[in-house]
Chains A and B, each alone.
Chain A
């Protein structure tokens, strides 16, 4: 019985391998022809029509020749591929726009000069002060939130029991949803209370970003620590290793690769924040290396400011956006290298 069905299945007729290509070409041709009937074809409309024609024709053809199971398979394949293509459209076009428009002003001098003495339609000037500002403010935010986040996550996974742990988990969940402007206002109010209303410094922005970043770090580190099998902890305990050394040398070490990735995602999440920086760190057209004194420019605020000015500023805004994307990419690359170094070797 079974043998017979299998044999029949093996011998079942298939569409030739080139059939999908032929159908595709036909669908595109028909769709182009239909498109040119109207007021000149628009690309999305032609592509959409071609995909629909392709799906319907191939399904009908396949059902007639190969039977319903293979036909459904082909239809599902087309659906999945189209969804993927649809999802890629915004991504690719975003990268395309940022790169093509960003490159107009992107140059060594853009990366190495500030905006002192630049006015009107001058195309000189650059964003080095904003790059430094972004790196300083984000770095300080990371310095604050990585230890806090790491230790909180360790507490929750390794020590926390009962109401306190539940309360912390709840607060972390709430904090994850805080709008960034609220974090900015919080930092502003905090520093106004301590140093008075005139105080402005990069550290204010760092605190605002840390408020946003900490819950993300806690969440991702917590998840990574929970993935470490309990057996490894017990193996260490059974060797007479104290709990804190077990956490440092076994749990954190085993989860290191994931933790690095999680922290990088948290950094990437806050490095592009604009609103909280606008109201805390403000803006400046020259370099300020001092995190604790005076306003500072950051890349997102730089882009916002230049865009608001219009004219050449718009090109500068795109160049700044490109710089920001490059920084995030570099950080990602770095994170990958680090986590590859830490990852357990398979063989």
Chain B
């Protein structure tokens, strides 16, 4: 079940350094939200707080409130491992497990968790996830080959298949196309619009056209001076953001008049 996300008064720290300040954000279920902004303004940092990956970094902590489907992610007794099963993530650089075959990479969420799965269920899950990631046709004849034998774009789609195989309700993507050619990028963008039917998607991108193409809403993060924390300047419908944003900074950034 896809679920909405509510973020209130979120402050994100690396040790004493406040990287992101005072974020309030409302994300509807079954929508695609694009996050844009200059390098270093805290987009990745923010994204990683949505599935509690932020605290993996030593000294990193969070203040504020994040709710997914009404549950406070940072509430008492919430297990970060359970959160991450519910909120999948695709990273900027494709990172398939090098010791695993293509099929095993897709099944990683099951196998690494020592969950038993029958052979036919496993085959089903592999096919369903790879079809979901638009990769099935290309790899169906070589499922037992290592994941690293694929091209960069195929690897990224393999990572998407791996993420959706655990059937999360939210999918986070951190610049999923930054290392890809236009054709693979297009394939992934098409994929995102299909996946929207079943997941709530948040995507970080540096590509304005991409944000305009794939997203329903766009959020703009900015950082005023180096050393200051990044802030969410505004978030609105993508069409509005790209035609007449309410903030001057957004307009400057989108039209390339930055700095």
Q: Chain A: residues with CB nearer than 8 A to chain B?
A: 161, 229, 231-242, 245-246, 249-250, 253-254, 256, 342, 344-347
CB neighbours of A235 from chain B (8 A): 91, 95-97, 108, 159, 162
- Over the window 69-90 of chain B, the binary record of Cβ atoms lying under 8 Å from chain A Cβ atoms (1 yes, 0 no) is 0000000000001111110110
- If A249-B112, A344-B146, A347-B149 touch, whether A238 touches B89 (CB-CB below 8 Å) is yes
Contact check, A241 vs B146: say whether CB atoms are below 8 A apart. no
Among B53, B109, B149, B163, the residue within 8 A (CB) of A234 is: B53
Q: What is the bound-complex CA distance between A242 and B109, given in angstroms?
A: 11
Whether a CB of chain A sits under 8 angstroms from the CB of B145 is: yes
Whether a CB of chain A sits under 8 angstroms from the CB of B182 is: no
Contact check, A345 vs B146: say whether CB atoms are below 8 A apart. yes
Q: What is the bound-complex CA distance between A236 and B98, given in angstroms?
A: 12
Whether a CB of chain A sits under 8 angstroms from the CB of B244 is: no
CB neighbours of A236 from chain B (8 A): 97, 108, 112
Q: What is the bound-complex CA distance between A231 and B96, given in angstroms?
A: 9
Q: Which of B81, B145, B163 has most chain A Cβ within 10 Å?
A: B81
CB neighbours of B83 from chain A (8 A): 240
CB neighbours of A229 from chain B (8 A): 95
Q: What is the bound-complex CA distance between A38 and B254, given in angstroms?
A: 88
CB neighbours of B89 from chain A (8 A): 238
CB neighbours of B98 from chain A (8 A): 232, 254, 344
Chain B residues numbered 152-205 whose CB sits less than 8 Å from any CB in chain A:
159, 162-163, 166
Contact check, A245 vs B113: say whether CB atoms are below 8 A apart. yes
- A sample of 25 cross-chain residue pairs with beta-carbon separation below 8 angstroms, ordered by A number, consists of A231-B93, A232-B97, A233-B56, A234-B56, A234-B91, A234-B95, A235-B162, A236-B97, A237-B53, A237-B56, A237-B84, A238-B53, A238-B88, A238-B163, A239-B85, A239-B113, A239-B162, A240-B81, A245-B112, A253-B99, A254-B99, A344-B146, A344-B148, A345-B149, A347-B146
- If A249-B112, A346-B146, A347-B149 touch, whether A240 touches B95 (CB-CB below 8 Å) is no
Q: What is the bound-complex CA distance between A240 and B114, given in angstroms?
A: 12
Contact check, B148 vs A239: say whether CB atoms are below 8 A apart. no
Among B51, B82, B99, the residue within 8 A (CB) of A238 is: B51
Contact check, B56 vs A239: say whether CB atoms are below 8 A apart. no
Among A246, A342, A345, A347, the residue within 8 A (CB) of B112 is: A246
Contact check, A240 vs B58: say whether CB atoms are below 8 A apart. no
Q: Which of B56, B86, B88, B95 has most chain A Cβ within 10 Å?
A: B95
By beta carbon, the residue of chain A nearest B85 is A240
CB neighbours of A232 from chain B (8 A): 95, 97-98
Q: How large is the interface on B (under 10, 10 to 19, 20 to 34, 35 or more residues)?
A: 20 to 34
By beta carbon, the residue of chain A nearest B114 is A245
Q: What is the bound-complex CA distance between A234 and B95, given in angstroms?
A: 9
Q: Chain B: residues with CB nearer than 8 A to chain A?
A: 51, 53, 56, 58, 81-86, 88-89, 91, 93, 95-99, 108-109, 111-114, 145-146, 148-149, 159, 162-163, 166
How many pairs, one residue from A and one from B, have CB atoms within 8 Å of each other in the complex?
A: 86
CB distance from B223 to the nearest CB of A (A): 24
By beta carbon, the residue of chain A nearest B98 is A344
CB neighbours of B58 from chain A (8 A): 161
Q: Which of A238, A249, A345 has most chain B Cβ within 10 Å?
A: A238
Contact check, A239 vs B53: say whether CB atoms are below 8 A apart. no
Sorted from nearest, which 8 A-B pairs have the closest CB atoms?
Answer: A240-B85, A344-B98, A238-B89, A239-B109, A231-B95, A240-B84, A241-B112, A345-B146
CB distance from B244 to the nearest CB of A (A): 37
CB neighbours of A241 from chain B (8 A): 81, 108-109, 112-113
CB distance from A234 to the nearest CB of B (A): 7
Q: What is the bound-complex CA distance between A118 and B146, given in angstroms?
A: 59
CB distance from B166 to the nearest CB of A (A): 6
Q: What is the bound-complex CA distance between A239 and B110, given in angstroms?
A: 9
- If A229-B95, A234-B53, A254-B98 touch, whether A239 touches B112 (CB-CB below 8 Å) is yes
By beta carbon, the residue of chain A nearest B93 is A231
Q: What is the bound-complex CA distance between A241 and B80, given in angstroms?
A: 10
- If A231-B91, A254-B97, A254-B99 touch, whether A238 touches B84 (CB-CB below 8 Å) is yes
CB distance from B3 to the nearest CB of A (A): 16
CB distance from B217 to the nearest CB of A (A): 23
Among A240, A254, A256, A347, the residue within 8 A (CB) of B109 is: A240
Apart from A238-B88, A240-B85, 12 more pairs, CB < 8 Å: A231-B91, A235-B159, A237-B84, A238-B84, A240-B83, A241-B81, A241-B109, A241-B112, A249-B111, A253-B99, A254-B97, A344-B99
Q: What is the bound-complex CA distance between A249 and B115, given in angstroms?
A: 13
